[in-house]
């Protein structure tokens, strides 16, 4: 199965983002089965790596004003987190 793709906005220095540690983040689904759900956002507990191949899915990174970084990272989503009860 082809890997899925997500993106996220990182507002801090990219070098400070912890790799290989579970953390909570907001992701947007870029490759949903139903295209109407593209860019659906959700909170997730996930592990990321700046290596494109380490984890099963691709993670594109944008900075605070939407600037897309050239190379994707990889991500493993542990679970979706529901913030609204």
Partner 1 sequence: MPYPVFKDNREFIKALEVNNDLVTIQQEVDWDLELGAIVRRVCEKKSASPYFKKIKDYPGFEALGAPLATYKRLAIAMGMNPDASVPEISNEYVRRTTQEPVHPILVEKKKAPCKENIWLNKDADLLKLPGPMVHDGDGGRYLATWHFVVSKDPETASINWGMYRQMVFDEKTMVGPVLPFSDMGKMFYGKYVPKNKPMPFATVIGCDPLSGVAACAPSPIPEDQFAGMLMGRPVELVKCETCDLQVPAHAEIIIEGEVLPNIKIEEAPFGEYTGYRTSPREPRTVYRIKAITFRNNPIMTVSNMGIPTDEGQLLRSFSLGLEMRKLLESQGIPITGVYMLPESTHHLVVVGVKPAYSGIASQIANLVFGSKLSPWFTMVVVVDHETDIYSKDDVIHALCTKCHPSRGIRKYEQAPGTPLYPFADPEERKWSRGSQVLFDCTFPLDWPESDLPIKVSFNNVYPKEVREKVLKNWKSYGFKD
| Interacting residues with partner 1 (CB under 8 A) | 9, 11, 26, 28, 35-42, 62, 64-68, 83-84
Q: What is the dihedral of CA 55, 68, 19, 13, to 10 degrees?
A: 180
3-state per-residue secondary structure call for 19-59:
CCCCEEEEEEECCCCCHHHCCEEEEEEEEEECCCCCCCEEE
* Nearest distance from C-beta of residue 33 to partner 1, angstroms: 12
Q: How far is the CB of 53 from partner 1 (least distance, A)?
A: 26
Provide the minimum distance between the beta carbon of 45 and partner 1 in the complex, in angstroms, as a whole number.
16
The nearer residue to partner 1, 53 or 84, going by C-beta atoms, is 84
């Amino acid at each position: 199965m082809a890997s899925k793709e997500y993106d996220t906005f990182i507002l801090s220095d990219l070098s400070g983002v912890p790799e290989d540690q579970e953390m909570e983040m907001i992701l947007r689904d870029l490759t949903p089965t139903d295209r109407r759900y593209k860019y659906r956002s959700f909170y997730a507990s996930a592990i990321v790596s700046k290596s494109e191949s380490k984890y099963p899915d691709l993670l594109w990174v944008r900075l605070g004003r939407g600037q897309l970084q050239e190379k994707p990272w990889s991500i493993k989503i542990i679970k979706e987190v529901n913030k609204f009860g």
